[in-house]
Structure 1
């Protein structure tokens, strides 16, 4: 079986219809059917069975589809790596840069950064995977991406990291509030990254004996921010989320020594990735980026 066979299996499985799959693969229906027949004869198994509404994959066929996804993914990685490595000996910066990015960073920071980098290196392409910081940390650990941008002090041995910026964590509301009354005031609960939640819970336990009065619970930071702006309750948000919003009441969380509690954002990468010009150029670009001027 070759690359095209794996591609046929993947597309056919998604469509469950030979006519539709052939159209997406830009081949004729008889050609697809003959190729499928050849695969079945080569392996000595039945991959699909015909039904009135399309095709049904046998257990062996289901397994082959899983293998197809792995084979195609591996081929793509090989192709990207070879393309990147072909430019190591020159000063040319081209290739595909794979980034794992926390949801906040993807929304608030990344587009502008990629715009500036692309202006400097127009032949670089990007593949971006977003998610919670804990999941993005796993991506860089598994080497599924070249570079990760992560909020919070997650740590993996064997990784290099660079601190991008620090931000405070704030109690924020539309109107001024009495902090002694906080447990009795409606809270817009942002259920985000668990590390941020643990920081918040620890601070609360040090300052209050009562549980907070959660009025509304959301899973998006922008939703929480908008509800606070509209006076529906207070929220606990990082200062960078609130940048440019001046008509909100804000109090920084502090520890028992009175020092502000900070949340850090990091860039993580593997040292061996710097052998690729595209990764080295991007790391250097980020390390020299002025976050205060953004």
Structure 2
């Protein structure tokens, strides 16, 4: 077995589908099936069982996937250690980032880091926090920037607590907010839960949902045209938006916030490239953008 086999098994286990795995690996389906068959012959055991919905791994296959993931971690550590044997920091930083943070903050953050360490390359995955945490747990990334806490994860740093705002074209009477037209957007479960919990504690009637869109930025543009209001975290607001905003407060008039966490994989904690990024993001000072 080699790196290609480890990587193939790891991706195949996530996808549970030969075709999708082949697409991710940029190989043909017959080529992937042939490599898998050769691996089964080499190991001397069936690794997968084909089903109507895709594939399932045998007990031997599950064991081999665990082995493959451990070998991928060791391979990543070995590469980074070799890259950093010289004084200059180099190598590839694998980072997963929550979508909103990726859109509004990440470009400037990575630019500032690359100016300090020009030989560092980035492998970036973006998505909802649950997806990023899943990648972090599997060891597919060095660290993740998430918009919710995972209490069971010990290796983490709280980067900031940002307020949540009700934004509209003109000032609204918040006591009568349920009567105004709200524009909802798709977001991860954590933010949705924060907003829903606040609404249930503040109002006895449901919101008047005028529109449901797939992106936060779309909801902002609709608000700018006076078509309703929306509720968003501070990270997405800029001076040039020129929107009226009201801080979302709890029953004790304390701002309700959304946290941003930096979480890292303990296996990679002492890699020079990871240590330098941890130092940089905590001293950068522009997380609130």
Q: TM-score scaled by structure 1?
A: 0.75
> What number of residue pairs does the alignment pair up?
272
Q: Secondary structure at the match of 1:86?
A: helix
> Separation in 2 of the partners of 1:155 and 1:3?
33
Query: 1 CA distance for matches of 2:72 and 2:207?
Result: 49
1:253-292 map, 5 Å: 253-291=248-286
Contact 2:80–2:91 (CA under 8 A) maintained in structure 1: yes
Which residue is 1:160 aligned to? 156
Question: Is residue 191 of structure 1 aligned with residue 186 of structure 2?
Answer: yes
Aligned to 1:221: 216
In the TM superposition, what are the counterparts of 1:133-144 in structure 2 within 5 Å?
133-144=129-140
Distance in structure 1 (CA, Å) of the matches to 2:42 and 2:147: 50
Look up the match of 1:52: none
Name 1:29's counterpart in structure 2: none
Does residue 249 of structure 2 align to residue 242 of structure 1?
no
Residues of 1 paired with 2:89 and 2:133: CA distance?
26
Matched position secondary structure for 2:227 = coil
- In the alignment, is the contact (CA less than 8 A) between 2:90 and 2:120 conserved in 1? yes
Q: Residue by residue, what CA displacement relative to the aligned partner does 1:149-207 show, whole Å, maximum 9, x if unpaired?
A: 0113332333232x222221111111222222211111101231212112111211222
Shift of 1:103: 0.5
Alpha-carbon distance between aligned partners in 2 of 1:83 and 1:128, rounded to the nearest angstrom: 18
Q: Which has the larger radius of gyration?
A: 1
Rounded Cα–Cα distance in structure 2 between residues aligned with 1:293 and 1:209 = 33
Output the CA distance in 2 between the equivalents of 1:37 and 1:237: 50
* Structure 2 residue aligned with 1:81: 77
User: How many Å separate the matches in 2 of 1:199 and 1:5?
Assistant: 42
* Closer/same/farther in 2, CA of residues 273 and 111 from structure 1, 3 Å limit: same
Q: How does 1:76-115 map to 2 (within 5 A)?
A: 77-87=73-83, 90-115=86-111
C-alpha separation in 1, matches of 2:108 and 2:132:
20
CA gap 1:81/1:184 in 2 versus in 1, 3 angstroms = same
* Displacement after TM superposition at 1:86 (Å): 2.2
List alignment gaps of at least 5 residues for structure 2.
Answer: 12-17
Which of 203, 228, 232 does residue 227 from structure 2 map onto? 232
* Contact 1:187-1:216 within 8 A present in 2 as well: yes
Could you give the per-residue CA deviations for residues 47-85 of structure 1, whole angstroms, max 9, x where no partner exists? Answer: xxxxxxxxxxx959x789x99999987766544321112
Structure 1 CA distance for aligned equivalents of residues 129 and 140 of structure 2: 15
In structure 2, relative to structure 1, the CA distance for the partners of 1:167 and 1:40 (3 Å cut) is: closer
Contact 1:164 1:291 in 2 (8 A): no
Match of 1:54? none
